[in-house]
């Protein structure tokens, strides 16, 4: 993922919608194999995905094909507590980043994913009650016990990430944030500057704005989509590949996380790695997103 951090693939696949794909265990295995063939080896999970069920579905596939585990990096997240039949003791949606809950979540993820170690564990959302020292302490213990390799955060502000990093004895591997041509906040709010400062690669969720980049009919989306279409002809690529290439050109070395269950979409995304946008074309897309030239 970074020169100084874990070696992850440049693009990842996220499994927050796995429960919607109607995949059998055989289908999951086929999907994993296809991603690996494309050089995509990082698989992103969270304990809450699929009403706390997607990790187990993925783990069932690894139980049948344990040889696949050594070819991938497993990422998961914890800290969000949903109100659901699967968690009857949760009477309000909340966050829990106590040491006991982090350990509980990691142990369950290890069991569900059928693995002895997690390559990266993230705090899923910043918790107003989070104690940086307590979180750092449990993560260091889990690293010492060989249960996780790396620590990261998700959706943290620059100051929140800075606070947590100050308590840790290891570098934060990533801050997973939302970014796309329809959501450029991290380009300006210091998230990506901090990533460069720390030599850590931000993971990017919703790189296509949840599909809105290609479906919304508002003026901004239409403007961006028109330019993506023009540039796709120039670069002999698809509009989706151009949108990913725009993200991949950022000097913070981001790792877009795909949310698709379609093997052809995964293969298409991998093709974006072969595209190098000209600097002026990158700024044309930024201008289309902003609706005005840079100052």
Residue 200 phi, psi dihedral angles, 5° rounding: -115, 145
Residue with tokens 């403007």: 223
**Residue 88: both structure tokens together:** 């009857």
DSSP code at position 210: G
Report in angstroms the alpha-carbon separations of 273 from 115, 184, 269.
29, 20, 8
Q: Is residue 49 flagged as an active site residue?
A: yes
* Residue whose C-alpha is closest to residue 256's, from 194, 193, 209, 189: 209
Looking at 49, 52, 91, 101, which residue is catalytic?
49
Strands 94-95 and 80-81: antiparallel
| Cβ–Cβ under 8 Å, residues 227 and 285 | yes
CB contact at 8 A, 39 and 284: no
Which residues are part of the catalytic machinery? Answer: 49
């Amino acid at each position: 993922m970074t020169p100084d951090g874990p070696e992850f693939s440049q693009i990842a696949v996220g499994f927050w919608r796995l429960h919607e794909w109607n995949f059998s265990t055989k289908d999951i295995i086929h999907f994993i194999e296809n991603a690996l063939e494309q050089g995509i080896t990082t698989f992103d999970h969270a304990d809450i995905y699929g009403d706390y069920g997607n990790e187990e579905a993925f783990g069932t596939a690894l139980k049948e094909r344990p040889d696949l585990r050594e070819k991938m990096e497993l990422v998961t997240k914890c800290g969000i507590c949903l109100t659901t039949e699967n968690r009857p003791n949760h009477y309000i949606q909340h966050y829990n980043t106590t040491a006991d809950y982090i350990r509980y979540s990691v142990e369950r993820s290890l069991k569900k994913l059928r693995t002895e170690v997690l390559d990266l564990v993230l705090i899923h959302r910043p918790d107003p009650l989070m104690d940086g020292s307590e979180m750092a302490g449990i993560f260091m213990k889990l690293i010492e016990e060989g249960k996780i390799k790396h620590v990261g955060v998700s959706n943290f502000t620059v100051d929140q990430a800075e606070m947590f990093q100050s308590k840790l004895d290891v570098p934060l591997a990533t801050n997973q944030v939302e970014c796309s041509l329809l959501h450029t906040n991290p380009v300006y709010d210091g998230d990506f500057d901090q990533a460069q400062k720390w030599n850590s690669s931000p993971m990017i969720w919703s790189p296509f704005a949840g599909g809105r980049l290609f479906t919304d009919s508002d003026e901004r989306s239409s403007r961006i989509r028109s330019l993506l279409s023009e540039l796709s002809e120039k670069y002999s690529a698809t509009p989706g590949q151009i949108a990913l290439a725009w993200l991949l050109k950022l000097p913070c070395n981001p790792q877009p996380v795909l949310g698709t269950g379609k093997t052809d979409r995964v293969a298409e995304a991998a093709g974006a790695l072969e595209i190098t946008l000209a600097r002026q074309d990158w700024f044309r897309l930024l201008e289309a997103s902003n609706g005005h030239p840079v100052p």
